[in-house]
Structure 1
Amino acid sequence: MNTRHLRTLLAIHKYKTFSLAAEKVNLTAAAVGQQVVSLEQELRAELFDRSTRPPTFTPQGLQVVEMANKIIRLEEDTKLSLRGDLVSGTLMIGSVRSSAVNVVPGAMVKMRSKYPDLKTSLRIGLSAQLVSDVASGHLDAAIIAEHISIPQHLTWHPFLDEPLWLVLPSDMEVRPLREMLNEYPFIRFKSAVPLANVIDTELSSMGVITHDVAEVDTINALITCVRSGLGIAVVPEMFLLEPEMANLTKVEFGTPQISRKIGIVERINNPRKVVIEELHNHLAMQCGPQGIPRTGTASS
């Protein structure tokens, strides 16, 4: 299968029309059409619905686009690996909306200063989708929490181990933990992410019944509610390091205090392994005392 034809197909998918794709890949519109026909004949499938203007991808065509992405990425990684030049090209990174987002930009800047030929692209999303994209090769690696199922051909290494805190407005009296959780108005973190499950599991194990006054889906919104005096909430430590959080009172959550880990998931045979290990260590440094440097020991 000719990879030039696959690149043309990806250009059509990106730019939506044959004519615009032709400009981007420096071909005539007729040549683009011939490449598409050649692909269709080789695959024995119609990739486009030509009854529409411009032609649109058929379900089979979209399936081939998915395959083409993987093949082109594998080709590029193989060439880089053979040249020993894995610090060029584009490093595709995904990240959950978590404490990690606060440290990722600084780590990416460090990588850029050391490897000026390496471009980095960051995409924010949910853990399950990010893991799927790493497995399929759409991402080189992703930053996710530990409490998620990891496929066997992927590996996960933590770079952050942060404690969880119960936070309350400064004018609220500090009392025993279970007493506060049972009696004070509680702002619940309600989101389809592992952290929410960690908090709910600990609350259940403590046997408390919270008096919920709000449900929010981001930690920043959670902290805003606490700062306004609405109630108490459980948050990870990295979100409490900003100066404006100094007026909040914090109490260890759990007995003993529980924590959650954030790490990098990647493919086991990732040709960009060395670069990702370095990114890991930059992230760990950005996390301060809670950072976990990469030791080379795999965890899955």
Structure 2
Amino acid sequence: MDLRQLHTLIAVADTGSFAGAARIVHLTASAVSQQIQALEGELGVAVFDRAKRPPQLNAKGEEVVRAARQVVQIMAETRMSISGTRMSGVLKIGAIRTVSMRLVPRVFTRMRGIYPDLSFDLTVELSERLTLDVSAGRLDAAIVAEQVGVPAGLSWAPVLTEPLMLVAPPETRGLDAARLLREWPFIRYETGAPLARQIETELSRLGVSPRLIATANTMPSIIGCVQAGLGVAVVPKMAIADAPPGSIWCPPSGPGAVTRRLGVIQRQVSSRVRVLESMRDLLSEAAAESGLAAPDPGAPVGD
């Protein structure tokens, strides 16, 4: 087994075919097939299901690909360490939409001051999908909402806590939450994300069953509907960070408001632990500057 075989295996996993991998590793498709067969011979197991067309990774293959990504990354960073080269390459980060629009760009800019040779690849998705991508080695880490359980081999460290807030059109300024929810129709966030369930929890806390006027699956579209006067909505505080002054009204939440925690999920064994620690620290700083609370230090962290 050598690094060429591992690079080829990763290329097949990323492109979904031997032909696609051949273009990346600059080999013929038959040479790619030969390398994969040699790798399987050394491992003593088949990593592809060849009954399917094109061949697909089986469960053992997925496991080997995850290990291959780590080995390739560790070797690259070891060479840099020995040669005295500064940290470089691409940091592959995932983020849910609300943090991708403001906090993550700010953090990437600050990280450039620490690691000037580092570049970034940002993927915006739902928390569940990002967690799967981290587990599979397609991402180095991701900024996701707190989850009920953290998959084996991953760790999750909280970086910020934010409240859920009722937002209403600017002409409702001065009205309280109870009156707004009685008199105005509701715009619902409808996705499979944990946030959608948390919003329903907040509505239950407020003791209302709002009259639905619209659904949307992105926070910017919900905020736009509110600003246009269509209705009211419940959103995380970060979603209104860029709203122009006076464009929405946020009545006081009162005690007991629902909050959500966001944090960084990564593999427990990572060759980029130092870089990811810097990213977490910078995320916490940027969150504090945006008026978002630090997580409760006594709260449990998934492992």
State the TM bucket, normalised to the shorter chain.
0.7 to 0.9
CA 1:251/1:8 → structure 2, altered by over 3 Å: closer, same or farther? same
Secondary structure, aligned partner of 2:134? helix
Which deviations, in whole Å up to 9, do the C-alpha atoms of 1:168-209 show, x marking residues without a partner? 112226333223223321111122112211110121233211
Does 2:277 correspond to 1:277? yes
Alignment partner, residue 72 of structure 1: 68
Letter in 2 for 1:71: A
CA distance in 2, matches of 1:280, 1:14: 27
CA distance in 1, matches of 2:32, 2:171: 69
CA 1:156/1:254 → structure 2, altered by over 3 Å: closer, same or farther? farther
Letter in 1 for 2:132: S
Which deviations, in whole Å up to 9, do the C-alpha atoms of 1:201-260 show, x marking residues without a partner? 121233211111111111111111111111111122222232525321111335333332
CA 1:152/1:58 → structure 2, altered by over 3 Å: closer, same or farther? closer
Q: How far is 1:135 from its partner?
A: 2.5
Alignment partner, residue 34 of structure 1: 34
Alignment partner, residue 158 of structure 1: 158
Q: Is the 8 A contact 1:99 1:236 kept in 2?
A: no
- Structure 1: segments with no counterpart, 5+ residues: none
Alignment partner, residue 258 of structure 1: 258
Question: What TM-score, normalized to structure 1?
Answer: 0.82
Alignment partner, residue 268 of structure 1: 268
Letter in 2 for 1:230: L
CA distance in 2, matches of 1:280, 1:298: 17
Alignment partner, residue 57 of structure 1: 54
Q: Is the 8 A contact 2:186 2:232 kept in 1?
A: yes
Q: Is the 8 A contact 1:170 1:247 kept in 2?
A: yes
CA distance in 1, matches of 2:18, 2:152: 40
Aligned residues: 294
Q: Is the 8 A contact 1:133 1:139 kept in 2?
A: yes
Letter in 2 for 1:250: C
CA distance in 1, matches of 2:268, 2:251: 39
CA distance in 2, matches of 1:162, 1:66: 36
CA 1:270/1:213 → structure 2, altered by over 3 Å: closer, same or farther? same
CA distance in 2, matches of 1:78, 1:151: 22
Letter in 1 for 2:136: S
Q: How far is 1:18 from its partner?
A: 5.6
CA distance in 1, matches of 2:186, 2:100: 25
CA 1:179/1:148 → structure 2, altered by over 3 Å: closer, same or farther? same
Which deviations, in whole Å up to 9, do the C-alpha atoms of 1:136-171 show, x marking residues without a partner? 333221111124422353222222222222111122
Q: Is the 8 A contact 2:187 2:216 kept in 1?
A: yes
Q: Is the 8 A contact 1:141 1:264 kept in 2?
A: yes
Alignment partner, residue 168 of structure 1: 168
CA 1:143/1:24 → structure 2, altered by over 3 Å: closer, same or farther? closer
CA distance in 2, matches of 1:126, 1:45: 32
CA distance in 1, matches of 2:13, 2:135: 22
Secondary structure, aligned partner of 1:98? helix
CA distance in 2, matches of 1:26, 1:15: 14
Does 2:173 correspond to 1:212? no
Letter in 2 for 1:299: V
Q: Is the 8 A contact 2:202 2:257 kept in 1?
A: no
Q: Is the 8 A contact 1:159 1:293 kept in 2?
A: yes
Segment of structure 1 superposing worse, 168-177 or 141-150: 168-177
Q: Is the 8 A contact 1:155 1:266 kept in 2?
A: yes
Question: What TM-score, normalized to structure 2?
Answer: 0.81
Q: Is the 8 A contact 2:100 2:124 kept in 1?
A: no
CA distance in 1, matches of 2:254, 2:195: 14
CA 1:137/1:254 → structure 2, altered by over 3 Å: closer, same or farther? farther
- Structure 2: segments with no counterpart, 5+ residues: none
CA distance in 1, matches of 2:24, 2:230: 54
Does 2:197 correspond to 1:197? yes
Alignment partner, residue 228 of structure 2: 228
Which deviations, in whole Å up to 9, do the C-alpha atoms of 1:101-149 show, x marking residues without a partner? 3211121122123212323221111111211222233322111112442
CA distance in 2, matches of 1:136, 1:156: 16
CA distance in 2, matches of 1:33, 1:152: 32
Secondary structure, aligned partner of 1:275? helix
CA distance in 1, matches of 2:173, 2:113: 48
